[in-house]
Amino acid sequence: MNAEVSLSGGWLPGESVRWAAATLLLLGTLICGCGQAGEAPAPQRIRYEGWPGSYLLSNGQVEAVVVPLVGRVMQFRFVGEETPFWEDPALYGTPPDPEAKDWINFGGDKTWPAPQADWGKVAKRAWPPPSAFDSMPVMVRVEGRGVVLRSVVDPHYGIRTERYIELDPNRPVMRIRTIYHKVAGEPVKVGVWVITQLKDPVAVFLPVPKNSPFAKGYTNQSAATPLDLKVEDGLVSLRRKTDSGEKIGNDASALLWVGERQMVLIESPREAGGEFPDGGASAEVWTNGDPKKYVELETLGPLQTLRIGDQIERTNTYTLQKRTGASPAAEARKVLLGEK
Q: Is residue 294 packed enough to be buried (19+ CB in 10 Å), middle (13-18) or exposed (0-12)?
A: buried
Q: Average pLDDT, stretch 207-219?
A: 96
Task: Report residue 33's pLDDT band, with 50, 70 and 90 as the boundaries.
Answer: very low
pLDDT in tens, 105-141: 999 999 999 999 999 999 999 999 999 999 999 999 9
pLDDT in tens, 223-267: 999 999 999 999 999 999 999 999 999 999 999 999 999 999 999
Q: Average pLDDT, stretch 157-169?
A: 98
- Mean pLDDT, rounded, of the chain: 90
Domain ranges (residues) in the chain: 3-337
Alpha-carbon distance of 324 to 308, in angstroms, equals 49
What are the DSSP E strand ranges found in 23-168?
44-48, 51-58, 62-67, 72-78, 109-114, 139-143, 146-150, 159-167
Alpha-carbon distance of 26 to 287, in angstroms, equals 34
At residue 35, does pLDDT exceed 60?
Answer: no
In the DSSP assignment, the letter for residue 261 is: S
Pick the CATH number of 3-337 from 2.40.30.20, 3.90.1150.10, 3.40.50.11810, 2.70.98.10: 2.70.98.10
CB 127 within 8 A of CB 101: no
Alpha-carbon distance of 160 to 111, in angstroms, equals 11
Q: Is 23 left (phi over 0), alpha (psi -120 to 50) or beta?
A: alpha
In the DSSP assignment, the letter for residue 124 is: S
Q: Average pLDDT, stretch 156-183?
A: 98
Task: Report residue 40's pLDDT band, with 50, 70 and 90 as the boundaries.
Answer: confident
H helix runs in 104-206, sequence order: 119-122, 131-134
